[in-house]
Amino acid sequence: MAIASAPGRVCLLGEHAVVYGEPALTCAIGLRTRAEARPAPRTRVHNPMAPDSPYLREVLRWFHTRCPDQGVHLRVASALPAASGLASSASVTLAALGALNHEFLLGLSPRGLAAIGHQVERRVQGRASPMDTLTAALGGALLHPGGRRLPIPRVGLVVGETHVARSTGRMVDRVARLRGRHTPTASHLLSSIGDLSRRGETALRRGDLPTLGRLMDLDHQMLTALGVSHPRLDTLVEAARGAGALGAKLTGAGGGGCMVALAPEPQGVARAIRRAGGTPILTRPDSAGIRQETKMGGGREDES
């Protein structure tokens, strides 16, 4: 029996633009998915949060092409809210792939697992960049495309859940449609978001958190102009800024889901998010990507 875990992530800068080849910055967080794989007479999945997860179906399809006659019992538990901009699907996919890799001695590297995870995401949700699966595999702060390592920001992160459901595929399609109808304007917005990521890379390398925060604020405005924010996201972002966050923005595909704030004093920001009607989650950047575990546990490592 083998147990592996993989983190969720926040997107500090550059989501959506990364789909069109622009740079983006992600950071793994201390909320993880754990998966246990053990040989079994017939294959079955135990995943209380999503009993019929299409991501796990695809993972098992891949596994059975590698090991056609091998049954497996896969048990999955995630501390990440599903479909909310924290890349829970990449985290679930990579934790499951990691457990299968260890249990059945498949010999894949973290980058190899990330590449398989990316294929899984593409099959399930259509167009998808490799950034979420790379972050779940490698951990830490990464520059995309490519996943070059950057220093992790030494600061608290407060995630605010809107509880507005949305789908990544639909939001990516929405941007693609906007780009089809208003090509020069949308392309300009996407390349401006790419510029913010380039400046964010410099800020991260210098440990300049106030500049990173201002870039996140600007990015939220540009994502709003692209049509992927939501009034509840805007409310939580404003509340976080008003409570002293260095910067705040939606994270992931938008349209609902979560926002993230860079928060030197996370408790005050968390209170403001709650007062504004959101559910705050206090977390921190996490340098660990996919890793072996000894027990299933809760997957939530840094709640304060």
Task: Kindly list the residues in this chain that would bind ligand MEV in the complex (CB under 6 A).
Answer: 15-16, 18-19, 87, 128-129, 131-132, 168, 172, 252-253
Beta-bridged to residue 4, according to DSSP, are 35, 292
Q: How far is the CB of 286 from ligand MEV (least distance, A)?
A: 17
Phi/psi for 287 (5° steps) reads: -80, -15
Q: How far is the CB of 168 from ligand MEV (least distance, A)?
A: 5
Smallest Cα–Cα separation from 6: which of 122, 100, 143?
A: 100
Q: How far is the CB of 253 from ligand MEV (least distance, A)?
A: 4
Nearer to ligand MEV among residue 22 and residue 293 (C-beta):
22
Beta strands in 125-257 (DSSP E): 141-144, 148-150, 156-161, 247-250
Whether 219 is catalytic: no
Instruction: Please give the radius of gyration of the chain, using alpha carbons only, rounded to the nearest integer.
Output: 18
DSSP-derived secondary structure letter, 256 = S
Q: Which residues have C-beta within 8 Å of that of residue 164, sequence separation ≥ 6?
A: 230, 232, 233, 255, 256, 257
- Going by their DSSP bridges, the two strands 44-46 and 72-78 should be labelled as parallel
Structure tokens at 218: 């600007």
Residue whose pair of structure tokens reads 């304060």 in the numeric block:
304
Q: How far is the CB of 16 from ligand MEV (least distance, A)?
A: 5
Nearest 10 degrees: Cα torsion 18, 123, 106, 96: 80
Q: How far is the CB of 134 from ligand MEV (least distance, A)?
A: 10
Q: How far is the CB of 61 from ligand MEV (least distance, A)?
A: 20
Q: At what angle do helices 88-103 and 110-125 cross, to 10 degrees?
A: 130
N-term to C-term CA, the chain: 32
- Say which of 52, 132, 173, 208 is annotated catalytic: 132
Structure tokens at 190: 């996407």
Residues acting as catalytic residues: 132
